[in-house]
């Protein structure tokens, strides 16, 4: 059953109500996905609400057959990611959401991709749109939040929210095969293509943050994100 993120119409809807989808979505449902009367569609609000519906009038209106509410099954996982070239960060967001990340925090560091500060809000909006589209495609129940672009130092404000805070860089003393704990909420911190500077590594050490090396090979920044989240997802799925 196809699923769509549509928070603007799901909040107060109940069984027996009719949902009228926005024109842009109507075009996609009818002209791209070929939805017709009688087809079943799920709508979600990104906060655990699922509406099971049946298409009426060739995909413009949907009759709600069932309203469900689900709870998060695993603790929150967040990925703080240094800025990369836009097309690569786009890919990072899409794949990280598919792999179950709950929050992405873009940040600037010494070797991160430079952008004009005034572009940060537009980048955040772009990445949030990608994340919202992805949760529909991979049938997630909860929205992945894209935070505003921040600095590495200001990430410290996030630390207390998570049971574990872990950085990844290839020269870490804890080498490939050392597995971060998968219990509790986690904040992963990923550096840019050039890695973290010595001063940044010392900063993490001063905060008591653990560091890991994920592979014998030097991974690209977006690959490192996918690797770590894949291991986390696999570990949590088998515990």
Of 41, 69, 97, which closes a domain? 69
> Which pLDDT band holds residue 125 (cuts at 50, 70, 90)?
very high
pLDDT at 188 over 80: yes
Comparing 106-110, 127-131, 141-145, 170-174, which segment has the lowest mean pLDDT? 170-174
> Which pLDDT does position 239 carry in this prediction?
64
Q: Which two tokens stand for residue 96?
A: 């990280």
Q: State whether 45 and 127 are in the same domain.
A: no
Q: State whether 163 and 191 are in the same domain.
A: yes
Q: Which two tokens stand for residue 229?
A: 């989240």
Q: State whether 61 and 85 are in the same domain.
A: no
Torsion sign across C-alpha atoms 77, 81, 85, 88: negative
E-strand ranges in the chain read: 2-5, 18-20, 40-44, 49-56, 61-69, 77-82, 103-108, 145-146, 150-151, 164-168, 186-190, 210-212
Q: State whether 196 and 222 are in the same domain.
A: yes
Q: State whether 180 and 108 are in the same domain.
A: yes
Q: What is the pLDDT of residues 68-99, one digit of tens each?
A: 999 988 889 999 999 999 999 999 999 999 99
Structural domain of 116: 77-237
Taking alpha carbons only, the member of 81, 129, 133 closest to residue 103 is 81
What CATH number is attached to the domain comprising 28? 2.40.240.20
pLDDT at 182 over 70: no
Q: State whether 123 and 226 are in the same domain.
A: yes
Q: State whether 63 and 82 are in the same domain.
A: no
Strand bridging mode 40-44 / 49-56: antiparallel
Q: State whether 110 and 47 are in the same domain.
A: no
Of 47, 69, 91, which closes a domain? 69
> Which pLDDT does position 111 carry in this prediction?
86
pTM: 0.88
Of 69, 92, 109, which closes a domain? 69
What CATH number is attached to the domain comprising 105? 3.40.1280.10
How many structural domains does the chain have?
2
> Which pLDDT does position 178 carry in this prediction?
44
Residues in the chain: 239
């Amino acid at each position: 059953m196809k699923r769509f993120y549509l928070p603007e119409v799901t909040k107060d809807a109940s069984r027996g109500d009719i949902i009228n989808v926005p024109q842009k979505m109507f075009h996609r449902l009818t002209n791209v996905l070929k939805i017709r009367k009688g087809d079943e569609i799920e709508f979600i609000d990104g906060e655990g609400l699922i509406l099971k519906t049946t298409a009426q009038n060739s995909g413009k209106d949907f009759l709600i057959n069932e309203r469900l509410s689900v709870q998060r099954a695993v603790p929150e996982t967040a990925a703080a990611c240094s800025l990369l070239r836009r097309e690569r960060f786009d890919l990072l967001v899409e794949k990280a959401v598919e792999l179950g990340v709950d929050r992405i925090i873009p940040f600037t560091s010494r070797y991160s991709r430079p952008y004009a500060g005034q572009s940060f809000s537009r980048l955040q909006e772009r990445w949030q749109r990608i994340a919202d589209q992805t949760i529909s495609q991979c049938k997630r129940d909860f929205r992945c939040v894209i935070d505003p672009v921040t600095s590495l130092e200001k990430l410290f404000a996030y630390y207390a929210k998570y049971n574990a805070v872990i950085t990844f860089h290839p020269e870490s003393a804890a080498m490939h095969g050392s597995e971060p704990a998968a219990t509790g909420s986690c904040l992963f911190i990923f550096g840019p293509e050039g890695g973290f500077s010595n001063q940044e590594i010392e900063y993490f050490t001063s905060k008591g943050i653990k560091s890991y090396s994920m592979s014998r090979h030097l991974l690209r920044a977006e690959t490192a994100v996918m690797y770590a989240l894949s291991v986390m997802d696999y570990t949590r799925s088998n515990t």
